[in-house]
A and B are shown apart, each in its own frame.
Chain A
């Protein structure tokens, strides 16, 4: 069965500092991994995905994620956080049937 885990419910970081939002996965076969961001009362916005190729994936709004097969991780990162990055972040894995399995979400707060 496919699953992802986001071990942190809440991440706080000061504006301008680097941020990391953690995600680990468990999949059978090759992982298709995604990160989405959700602002209050809004749907999900796609940030980035890993399907194959380079382990470092660059996405929208300056975010990037590193696929680490040995650690089964796909942590989301940004070198310098903005207050506007404050939102709910979801890691997800997609199976061969195109069904998504979401993590429980991590609430990111960037402190001015």
Chain B
């Protein structure tokens, strides 16, 4: 089946530093990747949608200059939290979709990345 990985699975950083989270589709090409944020005991909130080779589309209220998304290839998207602050601490989850051309017209979720900003 289709597998999506995220790296790192958890990260602790100091306030003011930047953190990069990778999302990879391991056995299919992902034309579209989605980034979600989840606070404790809450639902997933879509942050942005990225299509390979184009700029990401951000949801209302999400700062595009703070959450930089790059979808440079069909198997990799990155989310960079710039100048992270404690309020950015959260669980970040990506998902990948192969599009109609893929054998699997589905969306698959990564295992998530726990970010803690001190």
Contact = CB atoms under 8 A, between A and B. Distances in A.
A100 B34 contact: yes
Contact of A43 (B34, B42, B43, B110): B110
Contacts of A104: 42-43
B110 A105 contact: no
Given A43-B6, A99-B34, A107 B112 contact: no
A25 interface: no
Q: Dominant SS at the B interface?
A: strand
B43 A103 contact: yes
B46 interface: yes
Contact of B109 (A44, A98, A107): A44
Interface residues of A, number: 18
Interface string B3-35: 000100010000000000000000000001010
A78 interface: no
Contacts of B32: 98
Nearest to A88: B41
Contacts of B46: 99-100
Interface residues of B, number: 21
B93 A43 contact: yes
A30 to B, nearest CB: 15
B108 interface: yes
Nearest to A4: B43
Given A44-B44, A102-B44, 15 more contacts: A36-B109, A42-B111, A42-B112, A43-B6, A43-B93, A43-B112, A44-B109, A45-B109, A88-B41, A90-B44, A94-B107, A99-B46, A103-B43, A104-B42, A105-B43
15 contacts: A41-B10, A41-B112, A42-B112, A43-B109, A43-B111, A43-B112, A44-B95, A46-B109, A90-B43, A98-B97, A98-B107, A100-B95, A102-B43, A105-B41, A105-B43
